[in-house]
Amino acid sequence: MDDARQIENLLYLYAEKIDAGDFAGVAALFRDADIVAPAHNSVVSGEEAVLAMYQQSTRLYADSNTPKTRHLISNVIIEHSPGAVSATARSCYTVLQATDALALQPIISGRYRDELCKRDGVWGFARREMHVDLVGDLSQHLLFEL
């Protein structure tokens, strides 16, 4: 698989893990990375801190142990030179959610700007900037006010 495809798969793997409620798996993806939310002047670094962030911020439902969401990643733009060990990726996200108290609907949309690096032949996150553009009803998703 070529580098661009491996990077794209990494973006989708994040979405798959968070929708499955696998916060430990999400944290492992960011074990050597920073997650930055510029609007909140927030930086979370490393696996343990990322795990704590998701556990403290995202509601899981007892019947499925998931957040009952679907993260859709789109408009992926990867900038990378052949043979390089670093790359950037820009993408959009839209999160859908449906719960007993919330009909299926988009609840938030925004952009990711990722910096990635290749270590021992494997692509991984080095930094993720999370930008929020559109906000819907987050009452069934987040454990804090955005």
Mean pLDDT in each 10-residue stretch from start to end of the chain (146 residues)? Answer: 95 99 99 96 97 98 98 98 94 99 98 98 97 98 90
Domain boundaries, the chain: 3-135
Output the pLDDT for position 146.
80
pTM (whole model) above 0.85? yes
| Side-chain-side CA neighbours of residue 74 (13 Å) | 8
Output the pLDDT for position 1.
86
CATH 3.10.450.50 fits 3-135, yes or no: yes
Alpha carbon of 126 to those of 7, 65, 86, 116, 146: distances in Å? 12, 28, 9, 5, 25
Cα 47-14-139 angle, rounded to 5 deg: 90
Output the pLDDT for position 3.
94
Output the pLDDT for position 85.
95
For the chain, the straight-line distance linking the first and the last C-alpha, in angstroms and rounded, comes to 38
Output the pLDDT for position 48.
98
Neighbours of 98 (CB within 10 A): 14
Residue with tokens 């069934």: 140
Please state, in angstroms and rounded to a whole number, the distance separating the CA atoms of residues 61 and 64: 6
* Secondary structure (3-state) at 23: helix
